[in-house]
């Protein structure tokens, strides 16, 4: 088990199984249904609506998608297991400090008819250093570079507005012809899932939003973006008071970006 073996709440990290690892490498994304309990989903969804519609009622330091109950998502056991294996830098990971960073977080609260079709990304195996949108692999191991963990807090019906993917394009040597990423292209793949599901994808893949067409509910999704501890793409950070109040291990998700001596306690592995 890569370090750390537990998250900031003391819960054991959870890793993908062999089938899930294969599909992640093959497709560049994977959806894990029903990760959160119903009561967790309800609490978090309510907080998202307060952020969107009654922001002044939320304490200023909590006014972000790592505030309130959403803070628990930042290092959920499945996130820790995934990032340990596919994103983090093992020599800088200890039981007291993560080897990966949370470097961006936002809320997608999309009503009926909201259109977010904007294809981008792809070809991450061929990006140069300095571009975090990379994908690296060798027999038995992968690194997904800049990686999204998306928490779907409402159900997603297939073809009604979930994120679209051009599966395999994270390894593509060619740019996609326009017809392949047209809105009506048959090559787009997507998913369905119940509320409380978790979607992982590498930012190296060609992906896009879509028109939200579920008539009974909004899309409510938290997009958290992770990177290795010695790399950063986004200009973003949580409120200083929120950060100071986090458990020590969780705070290491937001520590400074460098490699030399950037570990917290213990002995490095790797």
Which residue stretches of the chain have pLDDT < 70? 267-270
Report the sign of the C-alpha dihedral through residues 224, 229, 232, 235, in that order.
positive
Among candidate residues 238, 237, 230, the one with its CA nearest the CA of residue 99:
230
What was the pLDDT predicted at 130? 82
At residue 129, the pLDDT reads: 77
| pTM (2 d.p.) | 0.96
Tokens standing for residue 53: 């519609």
Do 170 and 124 form a contact (C-beta atoms < 8 A)? yes
Tokens linked to 59: 């304490």
If one counts every other C-beta atom within 10 angstroms of the C-beta of residue 49, the result is 14
Give me the domains of the chain, ranges plus CATH numbers: 18-254 (2.60.120.620)
CB atoms < 10 A from the CB of 159, how many?
A: 14
pLDDT at position 267: 64
| Per-residue pLDDT tens digits for 59-99 | 999 999 999 999 999 999 999 999 999 999 999 999 999 99
**215 C-beta neighbours (distance < 10 Å), count:** 9
Give which of 91, 124, 67 is closest to 2, Cα–Cα: 91
Q: What pLDDT, on a 0 to 100 scale, did the predictor assign at position 2?
A: 82
- pLDDT, residue 151, reads 98
Tell me, rounded to whole angstroms, the distance of Cα 230 from its chain centroid: 18
Distance CA 171, CA 133 (A): 12
């Amino acid at each position: 088990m890569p370090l750390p073996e537990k998250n900031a709440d003391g819960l054991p990290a959870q890793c993908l199984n062999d089938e899930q690892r294969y599909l992640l490498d093959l497709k560049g994304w994977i959806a894990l249904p029903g990760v959160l309990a119903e009561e967790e989903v309800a609490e978090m969804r309510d907080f998202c609506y307060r952020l969107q519609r009654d922001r002044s009622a939320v304490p200023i330091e909590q006014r972000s998608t790592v505030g309130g109950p959403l803070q628990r998502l930042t290092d959920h056991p499945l996130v820790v297991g995934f990032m340990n294996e596919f994103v983090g830098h093992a020599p800088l990971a200890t039981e007291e400090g993560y080897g990966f960073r949370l470097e961006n977080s936002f809320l997608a609260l999309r009503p009926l008819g909201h259109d977010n079709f904007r294809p981008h990304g792809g070809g991450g195996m061929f990006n140069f250093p300095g571009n975090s949108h990379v994908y690296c692999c060798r027999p038995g191991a992968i690194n997904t570079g800049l990686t999204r963990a998306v928490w779907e807090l409402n159900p997603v019906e297939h073809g009604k507005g979930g994120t679209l993917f051009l599966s395999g394009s994270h390894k593509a040597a060619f740019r996609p012809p326009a017809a392949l990423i047209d809105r009506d292209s048959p090559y787009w793949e997507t998913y369905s899932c119940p509320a409380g599901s978790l979607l992982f994808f590498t930012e190296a893949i060609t992906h896009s939003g879509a028109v939200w067409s579920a008539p009974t509910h909004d899309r409510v999704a938290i997009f958290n973006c992770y990177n290795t501890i010695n790399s950063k793409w986004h200009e973003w950070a949580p409120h200083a008071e929120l950060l100071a109040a986090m458990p020590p291990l969780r705070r290491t998700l937001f520590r400074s970006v460098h490699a030399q001596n950037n570990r917290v306690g213990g002995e490095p592995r790797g």
